[in-house]
Amino acid sequence: GKTDVTVIGLGDMGKALAEAFLAAGHSTTVWNRTASKADDLVAKGAHRADSVADAVRASEAVVICVLDYRAVKDVFEQAGDALDGSVVFNITNGLPAEAKEAAALAKEKGCAYIDGGIMAVPPMIGKPGAFVLYSGESQAVFEDNKPLLEVLGDARFTGTDPGHASLLDLALNGAMYGMLGGAVHAMAVVGSEGIGAQDFSTSLLIPYLTGIMGIVPHFAKQIDTGEYTVDVAATLAMQQVGFRNIRQASVDQGISSALLDPMQDLMDKRVAAGFGSDDFSGVYEALKLEG
């Protein structure tokens, strides 16, 4: 039969997770601090647990998705000794260090622990394109539960270090915010001349950003080898000058350059250190904090 599952935390994300498990035919038990958030799910066939301990005891696998690790600690405390023998998948967003702490706490409680990072928004859960990164405990525990986890999205095990999935999640989302921040900034600059964001994004922004992604493998190779002078596409010294125009045009249009300024600083630093004839990827070195 299909694995029974408990979902703890029924915010926007937890609710989507529980709905996906229900839709896939898994017997699903739910608990939320504010109990009324379980009502819709119970109407759809979920079992309501009255306490964290009951919720944990109800199923073979426990998925936790609460706001932060303070909330995770509260949940662990309320579980008491009920976690003994359980398999916990904590896919709450947090730091690698917090994931490692939670793994240590789980060990004390006698449960297997796999941490995770959800690379999707709630409407994407259970649909193509969603994926979830996992790490911790063992590959075997992951594989045993993979059919269950695949209900949420492509399930990827990234290693036994419980902090690893979180590191990858935060790195990917750092890139996402850089890109989305850049997109919103560009809309603001053209918007200052009355150009609609929808027209602009369809006709220019999306095609440009999509095409530009093609340079990433080239940069990745330069970064892996530490050779930023090989097959230079455009020198950093040239880009440093051009970047000043991007920044100034923004300010001239009455749009903040706050999202651009840190990039200018990195380029200036790298050129000043004598690397102006390298490729852009050399800013990788300038990102490393000293001491």
* 120 close to 130: Cβ distance less than 8 angstroms: yes
Minimal CA–CA distance to 73: which of 49, 96, 105, 97?
Answer: 105
Contact with ligand NDP (CB under 6 A) among 12, 143, 199, 252: 12
Region near ligand NDP per CB under 6 A, out of 62-70, 142-150, 158-166, 242-250: 62-70
DSSP 95-150: -HHHHHHHHHHHHHHT-EEEEEEEES-GGGTTSTT-EEEEEES-HHHHHHHHHHHT
Which CB atom, from 65 or from 263, has the smaller least distance to ligand NDP? 65
Region near ligand NDP per CB under 6 A, out of 39-47, 63-71, 195-203, 268-276: 63-71
Q: Tokens 């789980």 map to which residue?
A: 106
Region near ligand NDP per CB under 6 A, out of 116-124, 159-167, 181-189, 248-256: 116-124
DSSP state of 38: G
Contacts of 140 (CB under 8 A, 6+ apart): none
The reply to whether 67 sits near ligand NDP by the rule CB under 6 A is: yes
Contact with ligand NDP (CB under 6 A) among 3, 37, 159, 182: 37
Contact with ligand NDP (CB under 6 A) among 38, 63, 66, 190: 66
**CA 65 – CA 67 distance, rounded (Å):** 7
The reply to whether 159 sits near ligand NDP by the rule CB under 6 A is: no
- 152: which strand partners? none
Minimum CB–partner distance for residue 45 and ligand NDP (Å): 20
Binding residues (CB under 6 A) for ligand NDP: these are 9-14, 32-34, 37, 65-67, 71, 74-75, 92-93, 118, 121-122
